[in-house]
């Protein structure tokens, strides 16, 4: 028995998410320019097994079938990203109509099947031509990004009603400019705050441009990983506060409150943290129609000498961990949604990514993939979301990461996050049991989330 109070809200958007570089393949097709990820993956030693996005899930050629599969699963929404260098091969200036046509066809296919598109402008694949001009370190990128966004707004607004500027600016800067595990692979404490600030200026400029051209909704997607102290020692508590400011508050604070948390300058970056002009903050702080939150895990934090945070994560003895080493901790999702409501106001919120990589068994003879751990992960996190809704959070939808097994950035094809299995030899798609479970949850408006798992 499911009481109404335990149902998901009317109109709740049930979907799945992907990103261009992770699924499309054919990165140079139809006149596209190279991106920093094409370059990075083709540099020896940068990705596991030297994996690249040259083929990926071949979605660029199989888009129609993939949308048909989404419809078969009963998805109500699909979150995808656009590859900037397909639209503007040089990053600015000349528009590549064939690149634009691909996304226009994708959106038409989705709408024909009653699936609402959520379009992300930037999911990490910067045009290489712009990296040559300094990329996120060049202040002009705010205008470059607004120009790129405007091309898409003019072509697709109305058919697309939900727009996202950036996906996870924290990962872009921490991975791309501080630790170097992601493209463009820089390692500089001095560059990181500059890249952060220009990402957020670009976000602001793209929202401003949207208000001139677009008539629907635009927001920002961030990843949040709640931080819990390992012990109550003053050192661990201070480390937890630093880690939380750096990862969780940095981007939403400046976008919604118009200032960065003071820990960034005072305790983390020190002399590497520049003073920014007031007009920059005015550009960054734009009214947003929604925020998107990507949630995978929490971390338990202790004081360490790690650079530059002086905070590190502790592995709990009793926790369950996914194949990427992330603890399964659904309560963290409830906690963070309540935290965001209290800190930023009850702004409409989508869970724009949530999911897990687990060791999946091979596709069985009868064409099934039994993935009980992923089913359990989805069930627990959907329950956590409903608990947040019960506590008054305005949660409008949920996008599983990911629709398909795909290219996990520098980890290559070694980690499978999909609810649909992809055979990279034949490109055959096989919905895993978690996909069937999720279909039923969608069909029942979430009521079946409470049912015991089938096995």
Instruction: Kindly tell me which residue out of 51, 66, 168, 236 binds ligand PNW, with binding defined by CB under 6 A.
Output: 168
CB atoms within 10 A of CB 453: 11
**How far is it, in rounded angstroms, from Cα 292 to Cα 348?**
9
Instruction: Kindly tell me which residue out of 38, 150, 223, 322 binds ligand PNW, with binding defined by CB under 6 A.
Output: 223
DSSP category for residue 76: S
Residue 164's nearest CA partner among 213, 228, 116, 210 is 210
251 binds ligand PNW (CB under 6 A): no
Over the window 275 to 304, marking each residue x when it contacts ligand PNW by CB under 6 A and - when it does not, the resulting string is -------------------x-x--------
Cis omega before residue 400 (within 30°)? no
Instruction: Kindly tell me which residue out of 66, 302, 408, 433 binds ligand PNW, with binding defined by CB under 6 A.
Output: 408
Q: Is 365 a catalytic residue?
A: no
CB 145, CB 151: distance < 8 Å? no
Beta carbon nearer to ligand PNW, 192 or 223 = 223
Residue 267 beta carbon to ligand PNW: minimum distance, rounded to whole angstroms = 20
**How far is it, in rounded angstroms, from Cα 451 to Cα 453?**
6
Greatest Cα pair distance, the chain, in angstroms, is 63
Single out the catalytic residue among 24, 109, 168, 263. 168
DSSP category for residue 360: P
Residue 414 beta carbon to ligand PNW: minimum distance, rounded to whole angstroms = 12
**How far is it, in rounded angstroms, from Cα 58 to Cα 77?**
21
Q: Which stretch binds ligand PNW (CB under 6 A): 163-171, 197-205, 372-380, 433-441?
A: 163-171
DSSP 221-260: EEE---EEESSS-HHHHHHHHHHHIIIIIHHHIIIIISS-
> Coil, helix or strand for 57?
coil
19 binds ligand PNW (CB under 6 A): yes
Q: Which stretch binds ligand PNW (CB under 6 A): 164-172, 212-220, 260-268, 385-393?
A: 164-172
**How far is it, in rounded angstroms, from Cα 291 to Cα 224?**
12
Helix (H) or strand (E) holding 397: strand 395-401
422 binds ligand PNW (CB under 6 A): no
Q: Is 353 a catalytic residue?
A: yes
DSSP category for residue 160: B
Beta carbon nearer to ligand PNW, 8 or 251 = 251
Residue showing tokens 């290489």: 128
* Four-residue CA torsion sign, 188, 194, 200, 201: negative
Instruction: Kindly tell me which residue out of 191, 236, 263, 353 binds ligand PNW, with binding defined by CB under 6 A.
Output: 353
Answer yes or no: is 346 a known binding residue. no
Following CA atoms 197, 198, 200, 204 in sequence, which dihedral angle do they give, to the nearest 10 degrees? 130
Answer yes or no: is 144 a known binding residue. no
| Structure tokens given for 228 | 């819990």
> Coil, helix or strand for 292?
strand
Instruction: Kindly tell me which residue out of 83, 167, 248, 349 binds ligand PNW, with binding defined by CB under 6 A.
Output: 167
Residue 228 beta carbon to ligand PNW: minimum distance, rounded to whole angstroms = 15
Beta carbon nearer to ligand PNW, 30 or 323 = 323
| Structure tokens given for 344 | 């930023």
Q: How many residues bind ligand PNW (CB under 6 A)?
A: 13
Q: Which stretch binds ligand PNW (CB under 6 A): 51-59, 165-173, 284-292, 367-375?
A: 165-173
Residue 19 beta carbon to ligand PNW: minimum distance, rounded to whole angstroms = 5
Beta carbon nearer to ligand PNW, 146 or 171 = 171
| Chain residues in the site for ligand PNW (CB under 6 A) | 19, 22, 167-168, 171, 223, 225, 294, 296, 353, 401, 408, 417
The set of catalytic residues is 168, 353
Binding site for substrate: residue ranges? 22, 123, 167, 296, 401, 408-409
């Amino acid at each position: 028995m499911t009481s109404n109070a335990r149902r998901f809200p009317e109109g709740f958007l049930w979907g799945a998410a992907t990103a261009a570089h992770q699924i499309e393949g054919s990165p140079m097709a139809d006149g596209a320019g190279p991106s920093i990820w094409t370059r990075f993956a083709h540099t020896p030693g940068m990705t596991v097994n030297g994996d690249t996005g040259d083929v990926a899930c071949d979605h660029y050629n199989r888009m129609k079938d993939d949308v048909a599969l989404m419809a078969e699963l009963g998805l109500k929404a699909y979150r995808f990203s656009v590859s900037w260098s397909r639209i503007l091969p040089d990053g600015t200036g000349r528009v590549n109509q064939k690149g634009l046509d691909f996304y226009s066809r994708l959106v038409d296919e989705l709408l024909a099947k009653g699936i609402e598109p959520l379009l992300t402008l930037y999911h990490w694949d910067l045009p290489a031509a712009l990296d040559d001009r300094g990329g996120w370190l060049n202040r002009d990128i705010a205008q470059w990004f607004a120009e790129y966004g405007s091309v898409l707004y003019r072509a697709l607004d109305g058919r697309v009603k939900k727009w996202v500027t950036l996906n996870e600016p924290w990962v872009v800067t921490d991975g791309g400019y501080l630790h170097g595990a992601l493209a463009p692979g820089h390692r500089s404490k001095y560059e990181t705050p500059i890249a952060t600030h220009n990402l957020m200026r670009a976000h602001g400029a793209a929202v401003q441009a949207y208000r001139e051209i677009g008539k629907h909704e635009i927001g920002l997607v961030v990843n949040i990983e709640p931080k819990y102290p390992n012990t109550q020692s003053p050192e661990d508590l201070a480390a937890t506060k630093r880690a939380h400011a750096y990862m969780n508050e940095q981007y939403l604070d400046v976008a919604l409150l118009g200032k960065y948390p003071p820990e960034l300058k005072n305790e983390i970056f020190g002399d590497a943290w520049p003073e920014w002009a007031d007009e920059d903050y005015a550009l960054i702080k734009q009214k947003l129609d929604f925020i998107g939150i990507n949630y995978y895990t929490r971390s338990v934090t202790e004081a360490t000498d790690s650079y530059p945070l002086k905070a590190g994560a502790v592995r709990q003895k009793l926790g369950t961990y996914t194949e990427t080493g992330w603890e399964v901790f659904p309560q963290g999702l409830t906690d963070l949604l309540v935290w965001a409501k209290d800190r930023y106001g009850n702004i409409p919120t989508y869970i724009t990514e949530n999911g897990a990589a687990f060791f999946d068994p091979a596709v069985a003879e009868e064409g099934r993939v039994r993935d009980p751990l992923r089913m359990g992960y989805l069930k627990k996190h959907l329950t956590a979301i409903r608990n947040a809704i019960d506590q008054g959070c305005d949660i409008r939808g949920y996008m599983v990461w990911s629709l398909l097994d795909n290219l996990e950035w520098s980890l290559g094809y070694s980690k499978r996050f999909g609810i649909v299995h992809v055979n990279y030899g034949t490109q055959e798609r096989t919905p895993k049991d978690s996909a069937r479970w999720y279909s039923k949850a969608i069909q029942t408006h979430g009521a079946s989330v409470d049912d015991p798992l089938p096995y």
